[in-house]
Structure 1
Amino acid sequence: MAELSLHALKKRYGPLDILHGLDLEVRDGEFIVLVGPSGCGKSTLLRMIAGLDTVTSGELRIAGKRANDVAPQKRNIAMVFQSYALFPHMSVRDNILYGPKVRGDDAGVTEARLKKAAEILNLGPYLDRKPAQLSGGQRQRVAMGRAIMREPDLFLFDEPLSNLDAQLRMQMRTEIKALHQTLGSTIVYVTHDQIEAMTMADRIVVMNAGRIEQVGAPLELYDRPANTFVAGFLGSPPMNLLPAQRGADGRLAMPAGITLPLAPESSGAEFLVGIRPERFRRASDGAGLPLRVGVVEPTGAETHVFGTIGETAVRVVLSERVAARPGETLPLEVSPDDCHLFEAASGRRVERALAA
């Protein structure tokens, strides 16, 4: 196990800047998830940690030692890829043992490690099978078993579940989290799936366009997003953002004549009010935010309603069954305590903006 430290880390391909001076501290034994849209630089960062891509500038330290120029094979890092990278002509046993055999590890020690890895990952019944005889989830467990055999300081996962169907992804999320709890290892995990990030991470690193937008525990980021990008990226469905302006009376004017109290110290005139879809409720008195219904999606436990408030598209999740039809108006209410406020121009969060 090992801590990981990034200081002013940059990556450039020719004239193109990919990573713009990243700073990050990963604690020993921590499960960190890098999340962000495609092209934000998260896989590039993972490859730099592994030594598969060079560092343009800045410093990368693993277990307290500068690793910028350390060869990949000397970093004691194990990497699990999206594509499994298994040898199709080898059995599960031989795939897992390939690395130790190449390194010339002691056969007795290697066999003990294999037994432990197979037990942790429930691979015992499959050791003599070829990869083609395994399911996608089983192949991914073989890839993890090969990583465990290295007894690495640091595990790196590069979107390992993206090739699996929804049910297998859910199962493998649980298995990877259980693996982390069993080994107590340091893990850096890359995904574009914010559900994986929310359910697996000790801390999430939200990336966008080669920069870190926010770092924190999953619920911290969910409850207090630093800006509109984080607010819109984390959460399924994502947070709604409604335009609002400071009124002459000092209140916050929203669509359809709805107002919210604005704290006296708040500055600025143009805002975005963030409301999580599940924070809306049906207005008991028939007044409130008028949602013009577009599509209703009953899921059983919840009802998802797509529509518009004013000119803004809104998605609402209600914990009840709704019989509204397209074109009807559904009155909604929300507590000021459930509203987040952001500057319209910069997208930055405004603290202590709404009055009690």
Structure 2
Amino acid sequence: MAALDIKRLVKAYGPVAVLHGIDLAVANGEFVVLVGPSGCGKSTLLRMIAGLDDISSGEMWIGDRLANTLPPQQRNISMVFQSYALFPHMTVGQNVGFGPRIRHETAAAIAGKVDKAASTLNLAPYLDRLPRQLSGGQRQRVAMGRTIVREPDLFLFDEPLSNLDAKLRVQMRTEIKALHQLLKTTIVYVTHDQIEAMTMADRIVVMNGGRIEQVGSPLELYDLPVNKFVAGFLGSPAMSFIPGVIERGDGLPRLRTKAGFTLPLGATDAVSGQTVEIGIRPEHYRLASTGMGFPYIVSVVEPTGAETHLFGTIADVEVRCVFRERVSPKPGSTLMLDVDPALVHVFDAQTGERL
């Protein structure tokens, strides 16, 4: 195992910079997930860690070694790709043992490593099968087994679950997390799926436009996003945002919406008269007591069994609400809602920064 320390890392293609001074420290044995929209630079950063892309400037340390000019084979890293990249003419056992074989390890050592990886990943019954005889999840486990036998300092995963169906993705998320708990190896994992990030990571790195927006534990980022981008990116269904103006007087500050009604806010540095946007997560809306709350005009009702999802508008802004209790309003009807002021996030309307 090894720690990873990235300092002021820049990647440029000619005059065009795609990573702008990345600073990131990954502790020994930590599971860190890089997440962000397509084109934010997360896969480029992963390829630079792997040595597949050159570093324009800055430093990258893997353990106590400066890795800027180290070729991939000398970094002692192992990478799992979105495509399984298995040899179709080789059996599962041959695929898993391919790395040790080309490193000219002994037959006994190779067999021991293959058996250990197969036991860890529940692949023992499939060692004599070809990749075409496996399911998608089984193929992904074979790709992971091939990385385990290398006994790397650092595991890199590049959107490994993107080609799996929804049920298999859930299963493989659990298997990868269990594998990390067993091996305790440092993992850097790239995904665009924020559910994967929330459920698997020790820490999440949210990237946007070649920069890091925020780094922290999943619940830290969910509960205290530093800006509107992070707030809107993490969470499914996504947070909704309602614009308005801050009013202060006696008691709690309030948001005065364009529709004229007010919403109570918690502690915030926003000043009276400031134009802001508040963010509320769908599960934090609740039905108000009679004669209280603010109006929500229902457009669509989606019962899922465990929850009821509502689409509608608040002050002409599209908002999704999620209720655990059974509610069945008619489309076009109006519900009166409220929210705990402590759960309302306030962002500057111009900069998007948390206030």
8 Å contact kept, 2:266–2:344:
no
Q: Which amino acid aligns with 1:296?
A: V
Is residue 163 of structure 1 aligned with residue 163 of structure 2? yes
1:20 — aligned with what?
A: 20
Residue 265 (structure 1) shift: 5.4
In the alignment, the residues of structure 1 paired with residue 230 and residue 268 of structure 2 have an alpha-carbon distance, to the nearest angstrom, of 26
After superposition, residues 245-260 of structure 1 pair within 5 angstroms as 245-247=245-247, 249=249, 251-255=253-257, 256=259, 257-260=261-264
Cα distance in 2, alignment partners of residues 246 and 141 from structure 1:
53
Between the aligned partners of 1:302 and 1:261, the Cα distance in structure 2 is: 26
| Gaps in structure 2 of 5+ consecutive residues | none
* Larger mean Cα displacement after TM superposition, 247-256 or 225-234: 247-256
Taking the TM superposition and a 5 Å limit, the aligned residue runs for 1:51-66 are 51-66=51-66
TM-aligned CA distance change 1:174 to 1:261, over 3 Å: closer
What is the SS of the residue equivalent to 1:110?
Answer: helix
In 2: Cα distance, 1:68 partner to 1:263 partner: 45
The CA distance in 2 between the partners of 1:238 and 1:198, in whole Å, is: 13
Summarize deviations over 1:187-242 as a string: whole Å, max 9, x none: 00000000000000000000001000000000000000010000000000111111
User: Residue 269 of structure 1 aligns with which residue?
Assistant: 274
Question: C-alpha displacement at 1:264, in angstroms?
Answer: 8.5
2:248 and 2:254 in contact (8 A); partners too: no
Aligned partner of 2:300 among 295, 317, 337: 295
Contact 2:266 2:342 in 1 (8 A): no
Q: Give the distance between the partners of 2:192 and 2:248, measured in 1 at CA.
A: 43
Instruction: Tell me: CA distance 1:81–1:262, structure 2 relative to 1, closer, same or farther (3 Å).
Output: closer
Q: What displacement does 1:262 show?
A: 6.8
Match of 2:90 in 1: 90
* Length-normalised TM-score, structure 2: 0.96
Amino acid at match of 1:27: A
Q: How many residues align?
A: 350
Q: Which structure 1 segments of 5+ residues have no match?
A: 351-356
* CA deviation after TM superposition for structure 1 residue 106, in Å: 2.2
Return structure 1 stretches of 4+ with deviation > 6 angstroms. Answer: none
Q: Secondary structure at the match of 1:320?
A: coil
**Structure 1 position 349 matched with structure 2 position 354:** yes
- Offset of residue 252 of structure 1: 2.5
Deviations 1:104-162 (A, max 9, x none): 11222221111110000000000000000000000000000000010000000000000
1:4 touches 1:64 (CA, 8 Å); kept in 2?
Answer: no
Structure 2 contact 300–311 (Cα < 8 Å) conserved: yes
Tell me which amino acid in the other structure corresponds to 2:158.
D
SS across alignment from 2:97: helix
Counterparts in 2 of 1:262 and 1:300: CA distance versus 1, 3 Å:
closer
Q: Given that residues 293 and 326 in structure 1 are in contact (C-alpha distance below 8 angstroms), is that contact kept between their aligned partners in structure 2?
A: yes
Equivalent residue for 1:174? 174
Q: Which amino acid aligns with 1:35?
A: V
- Compute the TM-score of the two structures, normalised by the length of structure 1: 0.96
Q: Deviations over 1:69-104 (max 9, x none)?
A: 000011000000010000001100111111111111
